[in-house]
A and B are shown apart, each in its own frame.
Chain A
Amino acid sequence: MVNFVLNGLPVSVEKGSTILEAAQFYGFPIPTLCHMEGLSPYGACRLCVVEIGEGPRAKLVTSCTYPVEEGLKVRTASERVIKARRMVIELLLASCPQSKTIQDLASAHGVRQQRFRQEYEDCILCGRCIRMCKEQMMAKAIGFRGRGEGRSIGTPFDMKSEQCRQCGGCIYVCPACQLRCTYTEPEKAVCGGCANLTPPCVEKDSFDDMMCYMNPCVACEIKKDL
């Protein structure tokens, strides 16, 4: 067992746990986006940052990837954390305003406006789909390509993948495209997209008409949790 201090509370958890797991166990809420139980932690969305250390050495780390250490002092909702988290949400909102998940996050954290040039992107590159494909489906059909501005998710060279079994796991875990099942136009909510089992990243053209067929609806689940 590892003993450390969580928001002033002395706690102890199993060795090898992450800060996020510890916080969840003790009931301190930390918002996440790229994290998913059953998939390896990745630390891409930076939403789950918490403050560790003290004084000038205090720093923010992602709780989903940081293993607990003996004597660590963790603050999950310090001013610095809240400020950073809200900016992360503002950036998410500026890129992906149509995502219900992100809208809900914004509203839960009191982010009322975004001040950047509005973009309408379909993907926040959290990499959940890639990890799903690799770790749960053992397919490795999709992955990250390029870097920086040019980073995207897809198959190598955008060619139809022979590894892909069209299982739909990637769509299932996507946090950005969940608006598809709670769309503002209810008549479009059921579109028959479920019949089309090609993952959006494999065949880009069909992405726009893709509607989610998931049950239970992940977006609603997350909403309930918040």
Chain B
Amino acid sequence: MERLTSVEEFRTLQSRVIAALDPTVPTIVIPAGTCGQASGASDLIRVAKRYLLEKRLTDKVRLRITGCHGFCEMEPSVLIEPQKTFYPRVSMRDVSRIIDAAVEGKVIEELLFVDPTTGERIRKQSDIPFFKKQFRLLMERNERVDPRRILDYIESGGYTALAEVLAERDPEWVVSEVKASGLRGRGGAGFPTGIKWEMLAKQPSDKGKFIVCNADEGDPGAYMDRSILEGNPHSIIEGMIIGAFATGATDGIIYVCCEFPLAIKHIGMALEQAYELGLLGENILGAGFSFNMTMVKGAGAFVCGEETAMIHSIEGYTGEPRQRPPFPIQKGINGKPTAINNVETWANIPIIIRDGAKAYASIGTPNNSGTKIFSLVGKVKHTGLVEMPMGTTIGEIVYNVGGGAVGNSEIKAVQTGGPSGGCIPASSFDLPVDYDTLAKFGSIMGSGGMIVMDEDTCMVDVAKYFMNFLKNESCGKCFTCRKGTQRMYELLEDITLGAGTPESIALLEELAYVVKDTTMCGLGQSASNSVLSSLRHFRNEYEQHVVEGKCPSYVCKDLVGVPCQTACPVGTEIWRYIAQIEHKNYVDAYKTIRESNPFPSVCARVCNHPCEDRCKSGTSGGQPINIRALTRFVTDNVDPGVYKPVIEPQFGDKHPQVAVVGGGPAGLTAAHYLSLKGCKVTIFEQESELGGMLLSVIPEYKLPGEVLKSEIASLLNDNITLKYGTVLGRDITVDGLLKDNFDAVFLSFGAHNSSGLQSDIKDIQGVYPLLDYVKSVNLRGENLAIGKVGIIGGSVSAIDAARTAIRSAKAESVTVFYQGTREDMLAAKDEIDAAIEEGVSIETLVSVEEILSQDGKLAGARIVKSRLGDFDSDGRRRLKPIAGSEQKVDLDTLIITASESPDVECLLSNSHLSIDLNADGTIKVDVGTLAASIPGVFAGGDITGQVSVIDAIAAGKRAAESISCYLQGKVYKPSTGIQLPQVFIEPNRSEEDASGQSARVKLPKIDVSERRGNFKEVEISLTPENALKEAGRCLRCDLDFFKCKECQE
């Protein structure tokens, strides 16, 4: 290339290059930044080149290898221009097809991007939600340029801004233009660039001046600068030449950290080409202005991103910050005035000159103009580089661009600014992302890292992670930074290991403030941010760690124990019985279950299995163990008689009297355990049978009456007296019971009141509250579902009701109306599937606007369909009604889910005592002891707030312990902390290889044809082979807590 000696020559070159370009020729664009190469872009390039040569397609199609386009998660990707067709995750096999299609102007549908929520295939890159919402000023240029070819950059309009400045403008104009654009430093501090330039321009120029590009990007999880360095190095160089022209700088330095080999290579090439073309060096483009640029490679210290440390590093000393003042602008490299700007800041300069300061300032918000690239990583659907106008809300970035949470876990917070930044809780996601707002909120924008965290992320663990990074990356000069970060790490480690105390949190906070206050540079001053902001927004998590000894996110191993056991409200040693099943020791397995759960057969059928949600096999990416199926297998194959309840009288010869009001799971459990302790228990039940909700609400096809009855019978003994048909408020009162020789009362009569349904709707013939409907079927055997049946709601009981209704002989059709999507429904997926199998139709995204009646009889309902809109700031997708979708459906029966609440009227009638209630009408109890506001009165189960079956059983167990302590005059201290495994069971080595590979077994079901018109149990027990296979899949998390024999010795 010949050296250009005037602006004219440059312009001729540029127009020649542009003219040589035929825009109709399709171009295959393959992004091959570090991220692309890591996912296999180099292979695609190799295959593509070979195919083009083999098929002699080089004149029909062009190939361009560029830097990262931002959607790193979908790489290696291919973009076809000019249509901008986007093919994600392309394999080598498909390259030839894509090239052929591009030549013919066609699109290969099956390789296109699929929207994960709608399932649609999207052709154009700009229609993909990830790109659609972005404002791609810088990233868009990455697509158009091969970073190794300066002519590509010139062809796409590069160096035009420089030519304009050299030919037509003076330095003052450039400075004022940059000032007017409102551009602020993109490195994080947000100092106005124009003002910095003005200050540098005013410095005496006799000794020379420096401008520096700070490309020492080191935040974990952030790589936006790297993408520009690799993808468009000339934009930085052009920005710096313009900067030198404006400020009178004589030397430029790009300080790159050594971890970016590709960036170093591309910058080296770009500098060489720019020198060759006369864009750098003496007398640039004949404008009488000289500027020299070099690249300095850092040695990989995070602290060298700090400007004074960087200056030391450039000078050849250890990268250590020094006191400011004097500021680098006065005394920088070798004592000469120096201005340091971030990569993104420099890359913005040519755009400002090209578009004009006014246009640039109109992007974003006042005082925070322009765009910013964020590196969106963590627990979001789509990760990558996202360029947004400043002032966009966090929610917009996380939900609408990032696509929201991965899996079922909800997004909890975002860490902005990397280790120096802080976390922002999901409740504040409507905050605009700009320098001032984030700083006010205790975080920083930093260079633009954005790490999304969900419920499975422990904030203490996150703070510990960042502190570990900082304690290694602190330069160590300031004693408080070096030792402070070490000590903060130590305290955080103590907390995550369970050795922390409330004093540790106080000390941590005190130390964090001192470290912030007493350190010299930005690293130390912001080192405490992650601790302080997580303490501010998530102090409860810290407290749970030190007070309760639990890690609520199931991250800190020592505070979790075995996840399944910890997740079980009654603490069943699930890992233990799975291991026992594996050893074919079914009797012991049954005993293990029964030891902690008095209702094994019931739970094997109806438990909502919180254990499976926490199973490591599931949370680590696979499918959780089917624990309920294994429980079912054990309870079906072992005679319950093998377990003999442990009788441990605690009252000597005395037998305190305890009244249990309500014979549901909570009441029965409490009665059972109290009777074993030697209490005389009387159960008052208003129905004529025991079982409570288990009997009245859970349909027979899920839990056969026989199973329930025999399980209940096994819990009764001589110490338990039953009183049926006794209604609280009518036949007995709480104060009456206390007077009547009862030493304690346990209230567990559940929530049987369907409130929340307007009486005028309730009165329509054919409309039933859900609870009334299922009760009439379960208790009185009359199925009220007639003709066309509609059910409103998506809860577990709504699906139960639908499946009950379809079994009615008089039901023609059953339809469930739910306003959200199928994924939003609370009912388990396999139950919804079973309902569909049985003939229930599920209408999602439908809301019932009005219930229509005629002469007091139900006629139908008016429904409106809606579609999913954007995410709102809570991370839920807004529902947008579809205009004109209104329609009337004929119905003969309508079952409505209404909120259920305990009928507390009965407590008050005929009673002199007043018991404290919560705002929602449930009884107020102490969470630890379950004691109500009256001494001797305890309550548990639905009556204290709606709970699942296993939670009710847990409440019953806790009540028994608490009541027993109360009767002995002791203070009940609920056990805090988690149970670590105590029993070592040899793993089954022979099947080790097979595990992990196989899929989760499903509980077999009886054929659909056999289900119609009856209430036969649907699920069937596993075969022994399948049970062994499933048990063999268990990862045996308990083994983590045992040392092997060699270690013990």
Q: List A residues at the B interface (Cβ < 8 Å).
A: 34, 42-46, 49, 59-62, 65-67, 69, 80, 83-84, 87-88, 91-92, 94-95, 115-117, 124-127, 143-144, 146-151
CB within 8 Å of A: which B437-489 residues: 470-480, 482-487
- With an 8 A cutoff between CB atoms, is B510 at the interface? yes
B992 to chain A, nearest CB (A): 39
- B322 partner residues in chain A, CB cutoff 8 A: 43, 65
Alpha-carbon gap, A83 to B480, bound state (A): 13
- With an 8 A cutoff between CB atoms, is B367 at the interface? no
- With an 8 A cutoff between CB atoms, is B507 at the interface? yes
Closest 9 CB pairs of A and B: A151-B476, A65-B323, A87-B514, A148-B472, A148-B474, A46-B518, A46-B480, A60-B517, A84-B518
Is the beta-carbon distance between A150 and B487 smaller than 8 angstroms?
A: no
- B482 partner residues in chain A, CB cutoff 8 A: 125, 148-149, 151
Is the beta-carbon distance between A46 and B475 smaller than 8 angstroms?
A: no
The answer, among A83, A95, A125, for a CB contact under 8 Å with B476, is A125
Alpha-carbon gap, A92 to B491, bound state (A): 17
Is the beta-carbon distance between B507 and A115 smaller than 8 angstroms?
A: yes
- A61 partner residues in chain B, CB cutoff 8 A: 323
- With an 8 A cutoff between CB atoms, is B519 at the interface? yes
- A147 partner residues in chain B, CB cutoff 8 A: 301, 303, 472-476
- With an 8 A cutoff between CB atoms, is B969 at the interface? no
Q: Nearest residue in B to A61 (C-beta to C-beta)?
A: B323
Is the beta-carbon distance between B478 and A44 smaller than 8 angstroms?
A: yes
A57 to chain B, nearest CB (A): 13
B323 to chain A, nearest CB (A): 4
Scan B998-1021; emit 1 where CB is below 8 A from any A CB, else 0: 000000000000000000000000
Beyond A92-B479, A95-B483, is A150–B472 a contact (Cβ under 8 Å)?
Answer: yes
Beyond A84-B518, A148-B474, A149-B472, is A62–B323 a contact (Cβ under 8 Å)?
Answer: yes
Is the beta-carbon distance between B479 and A148 smaller than 8 angstroms?
A: no
B167 to chain A, nearest CB (A): 43
Alpha-carbon gap, A88 to B517, bound state (A): 11
Is the beta-carbon distance between B323 and A148 smaller than 8 angstroms?
A: no
Given contacts A60-B518, A66-B323, A151-B475, 6 further A-B contacts (CB under 8 A): A43-B322, A83-B514, A87-B480, A87-B518, A116-B490, A147-B473
Alpha-carbon gap, A92 to B480, bound state (A): 9
B474 to chain A, nearest CB (A): 5
- With an 8 A cutoff between CB atoms, is B503 at the interface? yes
- B475 partner residues in chain A, CB cutoff 8 A: 147-148, 151
The answer, among B320, B479, B490, B510, for a CB contact under 8 Å with A88, is B479
Q: Nearest residue in A to B491 (C-beta to C-beta)?
A: A116
The answer, among A49, A115, A144, for a CB contact under 8 Å with B518, is A49
Alpha-carbon gap, A67 to B507, bound state (A): 33
Interface centre among B479, B507, B511, B519 (most CB of A within 10 A): B479
A43 to chain B, nearest CB (A): 6
- With an 8 A cutoff between CB atoms, is B606 at the interface? no
Q: Nearest residue in A to B476 (C-beta to C-beta)?
A: A151
Alpha-carbon gap, A92 to B484, bound state (A): 10
- With an 8 A cutoff between CB atoms, is B1026 at the interface? no
- B511 partner residues in chain A, CB cutoff 8 A: 87, 91
- With an 8 A cutoff between CB atoms, is B884 at the interface? no
Beyond A147-B301, A148-B482, is A43–B476 a contact (Cβ under 8 Å)?
Answer: no
Q: Nearest residue in B to A143 (C-beta to C-beta)?
A: B318
- A67 partner residues in chain B, CB cutoff 8 A: 325
**What are 23 A-B pairs with beta-carbon distances under 8 A?**
A46-B478, A49-B517, A59-B517, A61-B323, A62-B323, A65-B323, A66-B323, A84-B517, A87-B510, A87-B514, A88-B480, A91-B480, A91-B487, A95-B483, A115-B507, A116-B491, A125-B476, A143-B318, A147-B473, A148-B474, A148-B476, A149-B471, A149-B476
- A91 partner residues in chain B, CB cutoff 8 A: 479-480, 483-484, 487, 511
Beyond A91-B484, A116-B487, is A84–B514 a contact (Cβ under 8 Å)?
Answer: yes
The answer, among B318, B479, B490, for a CB contact under 8 Å with A45, is B479
Is the beta-carbon distance between B477 and A44 smaller than 8 angstroms?
A: yes
A194 to chain B, nearest CB (A): 29
A148 to chain B, nearest CB (A): 4
Beyond A84-B518, A91-B484, A115-B507, is A144–B318 a contact (Cβ under 8 Å)?
Answer: yes
Beyond A88-B480, A88-B518, is A94–B303 a contact (Cβ under 8 Å)?
Answer: no
Is the beta-carbon distance between A125 and B479 smaller than 8 angstroms?
A: yes
- A49 partner residues in chain B, CB cutoff 8 A: 517-518
- A148 partner residues in chain B, CB cutoff 8 A: 470-476, 482, 485
Alpha-carbon gap, A144 to B312, bound state (A): 14
Q: Nearest residue in A to B481 (C-beta to C-beta)?
A: A46
- With an 8 A cutoff between CB atoms, is B848 at the interface? no
- With an 8 A cutoff between CB atoms, is B520 at the interface? yes
Interface centre among B320, B323, B325, B511 (most CB of A within 10 A): B323
Alpha-carbon gap, A149 to B467, bound state (A): 12
The answer, among B320, B473, B479, for a CB contact under 8 Å with A46, is B479
- B479 partner residues in chain A, CB cutoff 8 A: 34, 44-46, 88, 91-92, 124-126
Alpha-carbon gap, A1 to B889, bound state (A): 91
- B320 partner residues in chain A, CB cutoff 8 A: 144
Is the beta-carbon distance between A80 and B487 smaller than 8 angstroms?
A: no
Alpha-carbon gap, A59 to B325, bound state (A): 14
- A62 partner residues in chain B, CB cutoff 8 A: 323, 520
Q: Nearest residue in B to A92 (C-beta to C-beta)?
A: B479
- A143 partner residues in chain B, CB cutoff 8 A: 318
Beyond A44-B477, A115-B507, A144-B476, is A149–B486 a contact (Cβ under 8 Å)?
Answer: yes
- B472 partner residues in chain A, CB cutoff 8 A: 147-150
- A66 partner residues in chain B, CB cutoff 8 A: 323
Is the beta-carbon distance between B514 and A146 smaller than 8 angstroms?
A: no
Beyond A87-B511, A94-B487, A149-B486, is A80–B476 a contact (Cβ under 8 Å)?
Answer: no
Alpha-carbon gap, A168 to B952, bound state (A): 75
Beyond A65-B323, A147-B301, A149-B472, is A43–B478 a contact (Cβ under 8 Å)?
Answer: yes
- A65 partner residues in chain B, CB cutoff 8 A: 322-323
Alpha-carbon gap, A120 to B486, bound state (A): 15
CB within 8 Å of A: which B313-356 residues: 318, 320, 322-323, 325
Alpha-carbon gap, A124 to B478, bound state (A): 10
B99 to chain A, nearest CB (A): 50
Scan B286-309; emit 1 where CB is below 8 A from any A CB, else 0: 000000000000000101000000
Alpha-carbon gap, A92 to B487, bound state (A): 11
Beyond A60-B517, A87-B511, A91-B480, is A43–B474 a contact (Cβ under 8 Å)?
Answer: no
- B517 partner residues in chain A, CB cutoff 8 A: 49, 59-60, 80, 84
Is the beta-carbon distance between B490 and A117 smaller than 8 angstroms?
A: yes
- A125 partner residues in chain B, CB cutoff 8 A: 476, 479, 482
Is the beta-carbon distance between B476 and A146 smaller than 8 angstroms?
A: yes
Alpha-carbon gap, A125 to B511, bound state (A): 20
Alpha-carbon gap, A151 to B485, bound state (A): 13
Alpha-carbon gap, A61 to B473, bound state (A): 22
Is the beta-carbon distance between B503 and A115 smaller than 8 angstroms?
A: yes
- B503 partner residues in chain A, CB cutoff 8 A: 115
Alpha-carbon gap, A218 to B885, bound state (A): 90
Q: Nearest residue in B to A59 (C-beta to C-beta)?
A: B517
Alpha-carbon gap, A143 to B514, bound state (A): 28
Q: Nearest residue in A to B514 (C-beta to C-beta)?
A: A87
B97 to chain A, nearest CB (A): 51
B276 to chain A, nearest CB (A): 39
- B485 partner residues in chain A, CB cutoff 8 A: 148
Interface centre among A66, A69, A87, A143 (most CB of B within 10 A): A87
A174 to chain B, nearest CB (A): 15
Scan B511-527; emit 1 where CB is below 8 A from any A CB, else 0: 10010011110000000
Q: Nearest residue in A to B472 (C-beta to C-beta)?
A: A148
- A45 partner residues in chain B, CB cutoff 8 A: 479
Alpha-carbon gap, A45 to B471, bound state (A): 17
Q: Nearest residue in B to A146 (C-beta to C-beta)?
A: B476
- B303 partner residues in chain A, CB cutoff 8 A: 147
- B487 partner residues in chain A, CB cutoff 8 A: 91, 94, 116
Q: Nearest residue in A to B525 (C-beta to C-beta)?
A: A59
